[in-house]
Structure 1
Amino acid sequence: MPTSAPTSPETAGMSKAALDRIDDHLKRRYIDAGRFPGTQLVVYRRGNIVHSAVQGLADLERQVPMKDDTIFRIYSMTKPITSVAFMMLVEQGLVALDEPVHKYIPEWKNLGVFQAGTAPAFMTRPPARPMQIVDLLRHTSGLTYGFQQRSNVDAAYRDRQIGTIEMAGTLDSMIADLADIPLEFSPGEAWNYSVSTDVIGYLVGKISGIPFEQFLKERIFNPLGMADTDFFVPADKTHRLAACYNATAAGMTSFHSPNAKGSLALQDDPATSSFLSPPEFISGGGGLCSTAADYLTFCRALLNGGELGGVRLIGPKTLALMTTNHLPGNRDLPEMSRSMFAEASYSGIGFGLGFSVTMDPAKTLIPGSPGEYAWGGAATTSFWIDPAEELIAIFMTQVLPSSAYPIRRELRTMVYAAITDSNL
């Protein structure tokens, strides 16, 4: 993060006392209670950081304090970056959203839709229409995640280690494996959180002609100065990688009990983490590590219409397209979702091209603005961008799963409560 102190919240229409209350809440309810090791919260409004706070520890076992430059596994917060990368190719005229996916992945041309059976003896039917590129970006492709634990299809994903936190194989092997597994539904018929964005990463490499990870570095990270964002943590930065933890059942079940303590189980030791070396599988759906400062840089470029400091990623009209609800019939997630899990609440929320999109704040029962867009990661990291309020919020910790506690709802409520001068 910048070394200079944040701008006074009051100069940006926010209350310092209300923002400080969030830190007190995080410390008391989560850190002191043993549910989070430590946290980092950054709030940016009207062109300035108005709140930046780190608390607790990045590594409980070694008692390493959380710092401004701590590196986090951002998991599915990789998805918006991958989606922007793909839309850069769309802007170049190299690919179109309504093209069939099998134009670029011929082995998928005859993918069927699951009817019955188990791997490898699936019974299928033809899809109502071919999968289109737009289906991958908005998760209406018919693909799934193995952790959904819902069907014989996602069981086949688990058998082949497709869509796990540490995916096996390579992007090429994943594409080949998926050619042998039927779709959950005909493309466009439903919404299901899935490996679709990993496929988008594969397509970025195939269409651009350079490896996906190289494209991100050359076209996004280096130009914006996102020096700490990559698919692995180099040796000179390993001391900054946070430990990752699993929330325990005790912590989750005691959450609403006054004075009850939670506990955390080490899930990924930063001294031995797989993130310390370049991965075989380059996951556009969940493979990046980053810092709050780097992710804020990316978000600032989006809030600014796709450009920051003279570096333009995408045009404002393309960004507007990405942050519009693309679910068929302008439906929201409850009307279309088959997912057992996703990094978003549902009611009043639609989905664009790489982001959830708030359609109706009243239905969410949380303060917000129409057009706000967001996503989160498996280890409870999250961000949202509210163009109407010129607001960005980024939250970092390292606790799996992200559904363990209602922290995202609490943060939205408390950050919006700190606004004293609304643009609406």
Structure 2
Amino acid sequence: MLAPSPASPESVGMSTPALARIDAHLKSRYIESGRFPGTQLLVYRRGKVAHSSSQGLADIERNVPVRDDTIYRIYSMTKPITSVAFMMLVEEGRVAIDEPVHRYMPEWKNLGVFVAGTNPTFLTRPPSRPMQIVDLLRHTSGLTYGFQQRSNVDAAYREKKIGEVEKAGTLQSMVEDLVKIPLEFSPGEAWNYSVSTDVIGYLIEKIADKPFEQFLKERIFDPLGMKDTDFHVPTDKAHRLAACYSADPQGGMTFHAGTRREGLTLQDDPKTSSFLSPPSLISGGGGLCSTTADYLSFCRALINGGELAGVRLLGPKTLKLMTSNHLPGGLDLPGLSRSLFSEATYHGIGFGLGFSVTMEPAKTLIAGSAGEYSWGGAATTSFWIDPAEELITIFMTQVLPSSAYPLRRELRTMVYAAITESNL
């Protein structure tokens, strides 16, 4: 797949000084202050790369700089890829999103809704309706993540190690364990960030009759030339895997090797990372590693209506369906959410089939466009696509959790401030 051409910011209606200001902000506020080890930012507009920068270190302890081909754990930025893969099966007439999940997973037919109790002695009630596949795609399924730490159901997920950053078990064992834990609520009654997209990966495997990771490789990664995107980093690329850190806004931490960095502690060493070998659980919700260049190829296909350089993933009408708000009652995330944590929390933002979707920019209190869609990962990676402005922004670093700093809000504000010729 041919790389996109670079262009001067001014030739695509953007400002060179304003984009340079973002790099300066990242350097002074986040890298030099010790909040982030390093960063990578790419801004693509009107079919050209308007800005690309790599700063700081990918591995502090070994003094390895961030490079253009650095490989990152993208965690929940896996979710849009999994959702697109599923909708490819929908376009082929092999499944429909309004079908009950138990049509493909009969053991899930009698899932109950939590009333009281603790694992394993829960009191439940029947759901008001069966879980539909659309509930998995839009996170209204009643499933959860253990890290929400809000309920006894969340606690049961933690006990079973379901949906954790360090994956355990297999997709099959995960869906079998989920049968034993009640839903948080009846499907469609609320929005809750959850392992729903992992279940979508399981359904892809069942419906396509091939391993989920093989489907992604054959239908998305290889056709788009995403050669560095996979559920593990092979030996010949291991030197490109960034270290992953956890934020400590209260002060500095000491690494296992004895060095000190204000605000960061080593979370996953690239020399010993579990991502260096194939995982037993292939997580469609958070298992992929990738590069900025690879993820740009995926985003370019989406902004082009589902096609890139002759490779079509989806039709434009299907993509339009995916990037429309699907929350019941047309509500936004704060209006329907039960999550203590998600990768998007603003008013005016709904949720489609795998992406958050901006409905009313004024309610977000951040510059943007109606129809913009996005998501992020646990280690503060993020992307957004604004079809109206022909804009893609991709940001990479490796700091857990993504909620530690208001970086995404700052990036949106500063990238949109760099537009000098709006399409609207």
Partner of 1:155: 155
1:169/1:281 contact within 8 Å kept: yes
Deviations 1:96-151 (A, max 9, x none): 01100011111110000000000111000000000000000000000000000000
Give the paired residue count.
416
Deviations 1:33-67 (A, max 9, x none): 00000000000000000000000000000000000
Partners of 2:250 and 2:338 in 1: CA distance: 29
Instruction: Give the drift of 1:250.
Output: 2.0
Residue 114 of structure 1 aligns to a residue in which SS? strand
2:57/2:64 contact within 8 Å kept: yes
Instruction: Give the drift of 1:2.
Output: 8.4
* Partner AA of 2:413 in structure 1: T
* 1:403 and 2:403 aligned: yes
Residue 388 of structure 2 aligns to a residue in which SS? helix
- TM-score of the pair, normalised by structure 2: 0.97
Instruction: Give the drift of 1:6.
Output: 2.7
* Partner AA of 2:264 in structure 1: L
* 1:8 and 2:8 aligned: yes
Partners of 1:154 and 1:88 in 2: CA distance: 32
Residue 249 of structure 1 aligns to a residue in which SS? coil
Partner of 1:337: 337
Which residues of 2 match residues 340-419 of structure 1 at below 5 A?
A: 340-419=340-419
* Partner AA of 2:105 in structure 1: I
1:72/1:398 contact within 8 Å kept: yes
Partners of 2:212 and 2:366 in 1: CA distance: 37
* 1:145 and 2:180 aligned: no
Partners of 1:423 and 1:195 in 2: CA distance: 37
Partners of 2:75 and 2:245 in 1: CA distance: 14
Instruction: Give the drift of 1:4.
Output: 8.8
* Partner AA of 1:296 in structure 2: L
* Partner AA of 1:13 in structure 2: G
Deviations 1:9-45 (A, max 9, x none): 0000000000000000000000000000000000000
Residue 370 of structure 1 aligns to a residue in which SS? coil
**Counterparts in 2 of 1:89 and 1:117: CA distance versus 1, 3 Å:** same
Partners of 1:219 and 1:186 in 2: CA distance: 34
* 1:116 and 2:116 aligned: yes
* 1:300 and 2:300 aligned: yes
Which residues of 2 match residues 1-400 of structure 1 at below 5 A?
A: 6-251=6-251, 262-400=262-400
Partners of 1:5 and 1:131 in 2: CA distance: 45
Partners of 1:116 and 1:218 in 2: CA distance: 45
Partners of 1:53 and 1:2 in 2: CA distance: 20
- Superposition RMSD on alpha carbons, in Å? 1.3
- TM-score of the pair, normalised by structure 1: 0.97
Deviations 1:309-347 (A, max 9, x none): 000000000000000000011110111000000011221
- Could you tell me which runs of 5 or more consecutive residues in structure 1 were left unpaired when the two chains were aligned: 253-260
**Counterparts in 2 of 1:144 and 1:11: CA distance versus 1, 3 Å:** same
Partners of 2:314 and 2:407 in 1: CA distance: 31
Instruction: Give the drift of 1:203.
Output: 0.3
1:324/1:351 contact within 8 Å kept: yes
1:35/1:251 contact within 8 Å kept: no
2:5/2:48 contact within 8 Å kept: no
2:4/2:48 contact within 8 Å kept: no
Instruction: Give the drift of 1:166.
Output: 1.3
Instruction: Give the drift of 1:167.
Output: 2.0
Partner of 2:258: none
- Structure 1 residues 165-174 or 261-270, which shifts more? 261-270
Partners of 2:249 and 2:153 in 1: CA distance: 28
Residue 193 of structure 2 aligns to a residue in which SS? coil
Partners of 1:80 and 1:251 in 2: CA distance: 34
Instruction: Give the drift of 1:251.
Output: 4.7
Q: Percent sequence identity over matched residues? A: 78
Residue 286 of structure 1 aligns to a residue in which SS? coil
- Could you tell me which runs of 5 or more consecutive residues in structure 2 were left unpaired when the two chains were aligned: 253-260
2:4/2:47 contact within 8 Å kept: no
* Partner AA of 2:197 in structure 1: T
**Counterparts in 2 of 1:31 and 1:3: CA distance versus 1, 3 Å:** farther
Partners of 2:6 and 2:400 in 1: CA distance: 30
Deviations 1:127-186 (A, max 9, x none): 000000000000000000000000000100000000100121000000000000000000
